[in-house]
């Protein structure tokens, strides 16, 4: 197996998120702005490292990805009701899909912050998850 690309890992996370009924949109490529309302999810790389682990071209990658699960901020009471339960269901979906279709070896840790967010200049409200993943494979 070759070392997974960040795009493959992101697509794997988005595929897990799309299984949740409350998520309206989870594109593999982030949009400039959110069209319409509802809850959306977007994943992008935050930090990480690649390294060669053996002399036979095997390597590993340790990455932290950001996953924003949010809704446009319009009314705090209704925004809260729409988004609060996803604080449990989103991490459960990611941990349930442990290897994200074989893209990663494991999800190591998921951290979060909750509250006001911004995407494309638009005020949002929701969760920002930091997902640590480990991938191993051949360096090609």
Between residues 129 and 95, which one has the greater pLDDT? 129
pLDDT (tens digit, 9 = 90+) per residue, 33-58? 776 678 999 999 999 998 888 777 88
- pTM for the structure as a whole: 0.87
Output the pLDDT for position 98: 67
- Residue 23 contacts residue 9 (beta carbons within 8 Å): no
Whole-number Å distance between alpha carbons of 31 and 68 = 13
- Residue 10 contacts residue 135 (beta carbons within 8 Å): no
Whole-number Å distance between alpha carbons of 53 and 63 = 16
Whole-number Å distance between alpha carbons of 7 and 51 = 18
Domain boundaries, the chain: 6-31+39-138
* Segments of the chain assigned E as strands: 40-52, 58-72, 106-119, 122-138
- Residue 126 contacts residue 51 (beta carbons within 8 Å): no
Checking if the pLDDT of 12 tops 80, the result is: yes
pLDDT (tens digit, 9 = 90+) per residue, 14-30? 888 888 888 888 877 78
Class assignment of domain 6-31+39-138? alpha beta
Single out the residue of 28, 30, 31 nearest to residue 8, CA to CA. Answer: 28
Output the pLDDT for position 103: 67
């Amino acid at each position: 197996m070759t070392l997974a690309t960040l795009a493959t890992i992101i697509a794997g996370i988005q595929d897990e998120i799309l299984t949740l009924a409350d998520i309206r949109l989870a594109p593999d490529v982030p949009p400039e702005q959110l069209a319409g309302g509802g809850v959306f999810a977007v994943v992008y790389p935050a930090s990480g490292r690649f390294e060669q682990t053996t002399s036979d071209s095997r390597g590993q990658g340790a990455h932290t990805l950001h996953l924003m699960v949010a809704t446009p901020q319009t009314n705090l009471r209704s925004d809260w009701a729409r988004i609060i339960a996803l604080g449990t269901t989103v991490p459960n979906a990611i941990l349930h899909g442990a290897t994200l279709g074989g893209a990663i070896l494991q999800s190591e840790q998921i951290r979060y912050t909750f509250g006001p967010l911004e995407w494309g200049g638009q005020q949002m409200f929701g969760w920002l998850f930091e997902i640590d993943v480990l991938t191993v494979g051949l360096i090609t």
